[in-house]
Each structure stands twice: as C-alpha cells, then as structure tokens.
Amino acid sequence: MVQREWLEFGHKFADRCGLFGGCEDLNERCPIFLQFLDCVHQLMNQFPTAFEFNQAYLVKMVQHVYSNLFGTFLLNTAQERIALGIADRSHSLWNFLLEKRNEYCNYLYELSEEVRS
C-alpha cells in the first residue's frame, strides 16, 4: 500500500521530509507520512491480529524515510526517481525488509476475510 498510494501516487517525500531533492521552503515540511504510520500503529494496537507485520517494521520504515540509505523515499515523484535512475543507483527498502521478514513478522496475525470493526 505504501508503494502504490504514497510513492507512486506522488507524495512529495523530499519536500515534506526535507530530504535530497526537496525545496528550500520550510513551509513545505510536514510529517504527513509519519502521521499515517502513527495511525497504522494505533490500528495495530487496537487490532493486534490484523497485520502481518509488527511494530518494528514501522519503526524501521520511519528510520529509513530519513536515513537516505535507500532510494525508496528519495525525491518527490516516481518520475523523478526514474529520471535520475535511483533504482539502479541505490537499494530498495522493500527488498531489505523482505530479506529480514522473520524480524518483522507479527506472530499473532490471523488471516481473515471478514471486515473487522
């Protein structure tokens, strides 16, 4: 969901987080993505069996939004990342997280087709 709704849709990570390739206007900075991750965290607390990942996954994501170790959150749009060849010149956070899947697995997760309320 983060890949599709935040990265591909064009959340301006560079501007909002003050990262490489962002604008100098401090008024553009705001923690919208961090607020979203906090909402996910709150949902995880309410519904501990509903998520395949644990809270360490969210923490690692927050750390690497700002670390610049991965190209995943660099620049403002997918088009900019493609134009600068970010995928070829950096590593993907998603691959890193998949390699360490056991560390970020929620062992309480229960697959369910019903909508939880």
Domain ranges across the chain: 2-104
Residue 26's pLDDT is what?
Answer: 84
pLDDT per position as a tens digit, 91-114: 999 999 999 999 999 999 999 888
Count how many Cα atoms sit within 13 Å of the Cα of residue 108 in the half-sphere of its side chain.
10
pLDDT per position as a tens digit, 73-97: 998 989 999 999 999 999 999 999 9
Q: What is the mean pLDDT of the chain?
A: 90
**Whether the predicted pLDDT of 22 surpasses 80:** no
- Specify the amino acid at residue 36: F
Question: Within 10 A of 92 (CB to CB), how many other CB atoms are there?
Answer: 14
| Residue 57 token pair | 């996954």
The Cα–Cα gap between 55 and 61 comes to 10
Residue 45's pLDDT is what?
Answer: 97
Entry pTM: 0.85
Structure-token match 């998603």, residue found = 94
